[in-house]
Amino acid sequence: MSDAIRRLTLSHVVLPLAQPVSDAKVLTGRQRPLTETVLLFVEVETEDGHRGTGFSYSKRAGGRAQYRHLADVAEVAIGQDPSDIARIYDSLLWAGASVGRSGVATQAIAALDVALWDLKARRADLPLAKLLGAHRDSCRVYNTSGGFLQASVDEVKERASASLAAGIGGIKIKVGQPDWAEDLRRVAALREHLGDAPLMVDANQQWDRARARRMCRALEEFDLVWIEEPLDAWDAVGHADLSRTVDTPIATGEMLTSVPEHVALLDAGYRGIVQPDAPRIGGITPFLRFATLASHAGLALAPHYAMEIHLHLAAAYPTEPWVEHFEWLDPLFEERVEIADGRIRVPDRPGLGITLSDRMRALTRETATFGR
């Protein structure tokens, strides 16, 4: 007899940052400084006693909306076989179909989808990467959290040096300021400071097509690993054109919230680096669907944020990926990722290899339980 989902526990968690951070969207007046990350955690229990944990997140508005949407549809999963992840996913999509199949709706479902994959791997007593079919036991890793624009160049240099000394392999800094000349000065300073260490830049969607072309040409001399989100995230044609006309690889995809939105890049002839985010695209199930298409198209992979999840997915990608390091979520988990020699190692613990901490419980604002 097959197992069945007995109980789901949802937690709405607000994690403050140690200090506010700003990217180009703040300097152009489109957003306020980031002060907290809001997370939706899901804990799954089955009739046979198996458990799994997953999460989704929002860096600004929308975190509570994710929590409320999943609370509206979660009951649909009760009694279903936890192994039937794709079927459960579709049933949740249909339960909330009136608000669409992207954005908050899929980001809410993502937390449960991740929990079900964690459960399946734990039940098999395998790390998730091994369950999926790993190509490697570790991935290249780069740090972003030290490169935000509220920090001075000297502060960014200091943090970059600390990251490299801790075993991280690459550094990403933010650009896209109204003063494009200041962007170039910051990049030049970091390139000189880092020598030949891998360096990436991220414009956070703040250039139009004309400015992006000029900036990408001006940045060529710095031997960057990639230029990220030079254009609006939904400008598939613009990103595709840039990816075919400049030597430095163009990276994008982190803001997209469904497989069709990512496929638009492929349809436009994109030749850059794809950055799907499992909690944003809707979970591990849709992430894997798009990853298959991206691999078939010969695209490199560098998943966005949530390294606790993406380390496993990157390890299962056919070609060598990059994983983004953010320490922001560390307080929520008992374990720490292992980083050395420029690489982040897949844990040998079952599932995602994470255990929720007492700090996560203390930061929980609201919970809801479904089933028994």
- 62: which 2 tokens? 């929308």
* 1 confidence band (pLDDT: 50, 70, 90): low
Which one is the CATH code of 5-125+357-371: 3.30.450.20, 3.30.390.10, 3.20.20.70, 3.30.56.10? 3.30.390.10
User: Is 157 assigned a catalytic role?
Assistant: no
pLDDT over 90 (residue 350): yes
* 62 confidence band (pLDDT: 50, 70, 90): confident
Annotated binding site for Mg(2+): 202, 228, 254
Annotated binding site for substrate: 23-25, 59-60, 172, 204, 324
* 97 confidence band (pLDDT: 50, 70, 90): confident
pLDDT digits (tens, 9 = 90+) for 45-54: 999 999 999 9
Cβ–Cβ < 8 Å for 343, 139: yes
Q: Which CATH class is domain 129-345?
A: alpha beta
Distance (Å, rounded) from C-alpha 315 to C-alpha 127?
11
pLDDT value of position 248: 98
DSSP assignments along 136-147, one per residue: -SEEEEEE-TT-
Determine how many CB atoms are found less than 10 A away from the CB of residue 264.
18
Exactly one of 69, 120, 130, 304 is catalytic; name it: 304
Distance (Å, rounded) from C-alpha 213 to C-alpha 1?
60
352 CB-near residues (< 8 Å, 6+ apart): 53, 54, 114, 118, 121, 128, 308, 309, 312
pLDDT value of position 61: 83
* 43 confidence band (pLDDT: 50, 70, 90): very high
pLDDT digits (tens, 9 = 90+) for 224-271: 999 999 999 999 999 999 999 999 999 999 999 999 999 999 999 999
* 99 confidence band (pLDDT: 50, 70, 90): confident
Annotated binding site: 23-25, 59-60, 172, 202, 204, 228, 254, 324
pLDDT digits (tens, 9 = 90+) for 177-197: 999 999 999 999 999 999 999
Distance (Å, rounded) from C-alpha 41 to C-alpha 74?
13
pLDDT value of position 100: 81
* Measured CA angle at 65 (ends 255, 94), to 5 deg: 80
Determine how many CB atoms are found less than 10 A away from the CB of residue 18.
7
Exactly one of 174, 262, 310, 312 is catalytic; name it: 174
Amino acid in the structure at residue 80: Q
Phi-psi map region of 365: left, alpha, beta (phi>0 left; psi -120 to 50 alpha): alpha
Q: Which residue has the higher pLDDT, 145 or 322?
A: 322
User: Among 361, 249, 371, which Cα is nearest to 13's?
Assistant: 361
User: Is 120 assigned a catalytic role?
Assistant: no
Give the HSE-up count for residue 364: Cα atoms under 13 Å, Cβ half-sphere: 18
Strand spans (E) along the chain: 5-21, 34-46, 51-58, 138-143, 170-174, 199-202, 227-228, 250-252, 273-274, 300-301, 322-325, 338-340, 343-345, 364-371
- 28: which 2 tokens? 């152009």
pLDDT digits (tens, 9 = 90+) for 203-214: 999 999 999 999
- Domains of the chain: which residue ranges? 5-125+357-371, 129-345
pLDDT over 90 (residue 102): no
pLDDT value of position 96: 86
Q: pLDDT averaged over the chain? A: 95
